[in-house]
Structure formats: C-alpha cells, structure tokens
Structure 1
Amino acid sequence: MADSESALEVVGDPEVFQISFVFPNGDKYDGECTRTTAGVLERNGVGIHKTPNGITYKGNWQNDKMNGIGRLEHPSGAVYEGGFTNNMFHGTGTYIFPNGAKYTGSFNENKLEGEGEFVDSHGLEWKGKFLFTAAPGLQLKHTM
C-alpha cells in the first residue's frame, strides 16, 4: 500500500445539556443529559426525577439509570441514600424505614447484604452480617 493514511476518529466527551422534561406518565426530570449516537437524549450527570405519586430521586445518572450516589425518597417516609447501580441499591448506603428504623451498611441489588448496623424502631442498635432476610449472629450493641 502506498502512502495510506490511518483515519483516527477523535472521540471527545459528549455535550452535556441541562433539561427539564415531562414524561408521558407525568414523571418529571430536571438535570443533565447527553445525546446518544442514535440522537436520543438520556439522563447522564446529576438530576432530579419526580413522580406524580411523590417519589423523588436526587443524584447521579448514567446511561439513563440511577448510577452513582443518590437519595431516593418515598411518600411513605422511606428514604434510601447511598450507592446505586442500574436503578438498584448497591454498595454502601442507609435505608430509613417508614417506622423510623434504620439500616446502614452494604447493599447488593436492593438486598441488605454484608456488614451493617440496624437501629430498630425502639432505638436498639444491632450490628452484624446481613443476608437479605436473615442476620445470623446479629449482636446488640451495648453502651455502658
């Protein structure tokens, strides 16, 4: 081949847009987005998504899903704050139940899984390993 030139495509960061969008179901998103190669806008960056029934997510988005650090609030009073992966609680976080009980620790795909601390609705503090619906060897923290 004589004097052929390699064509290198320089790919930069996609342009970030600040939008306010209302979905057909009444959900509303205010925040950052980017345009895909197909020309579709998707949530990427930081934003707030609210539903008509009172669910609010404030936090990071990637590939049009809750990914990164965020806070999800339900009208029941339940609140999760921590890591998200593909719209699921994943990583370290805190979940406050509607009755005031609180779990802080590891989550794996929406499940309490790994080391964590649980404060029940009576204020008793428990610590140990959680395996979704079981917590073998859970110990009551004692203050003297």
Structure 2
Amino acid sequence: MKKFIYLFIYSLICNIHSQEKKETVYLLFDSKNKKTCIIGESNKYGEIVKKYRKEERKNRITFFICKESFVLDKKDKIDTCDIKYLNKIKFETLQTMESKRGVSKYVFKNSIFEKIYLVEKYKDIIIKYPVIWNTDSTQY
C-alpha cells in the first residue's frame, strides 16, 4: 500500500510540474554588430571579443552572445521569413531570460522555455535558428 501511495504522490507531482506553461522566446542575433564584451574571470584580465559570434564544428553551430552560448544542430530545420515578420516578434534579452529562470541557478537554462530561437537579419529576410541554451552539462 505504501508503494502505491508513493507512486501516486510522485505521479501527481510530475503531472503538476509538467503542466507549467513554457514559452517560446526570440533573441536577436546581430552578427554585423561591432559591439564587444569582456569574457573571462574579471574585467581586468578578461578577453575582449565581438558580442555576437558563430563557431561551426562538424554538425553543430555555436552562437555566442557575450558569455552565453546557444547550440544549433545542423540537422534542425532553419526557418526563413520575410523581414516584415520582425514586427510581430517580441524579442527577449539575456537579462529577461535569466530573470525568468527564477531563484534557482541550478535549473537547466534550456528547460525553462518551450523553444528558443535566435533571429538573424539577412538582406530582406530573417533567419530563425532553433537553438538550445548551452550549459556546462550540454557542452558541444
């Protein structure tokens, strides 16, 4: 009987937790932007890098926005839209995404959101990359 009660409580907790509403977020990735930021241990000894940068490796692309990184598997479908679609997108910032993460810093960053898209302007279209917010446990 105890096992049944424990199983019931566990399934109830899992069900409640799974019903939390997750949202889809969009971040602007401006690869043409010349802004820089400092990454590293401190501002004094950190490395100055471009704020927006990409690294391609085998079957993945890693997008960097200052210290944060997002990973795209090249097998994932990349969506393109007309530039007019930008008016319909509500963009987030890294700061607002971090604040939505809540009090616990031990929650996986990627598990908070339904989907994360990096949006890049290219001529008169936009490219939406479905990415995963890279953490220490998902390093590629």
TM range (shorter): under 0.3
What TM-score, normalized to structure 1? Answer: 0.25
Higher Cα Rg: structure 1 or 2? 1
What TM-score, normalized to structure 2? Answer: 0.26
Structure with a larger share of its residues in strand: 1
Compare relative contact order (CA 8 Å, sep 6+) and give the higher one, 1 or 2: 2
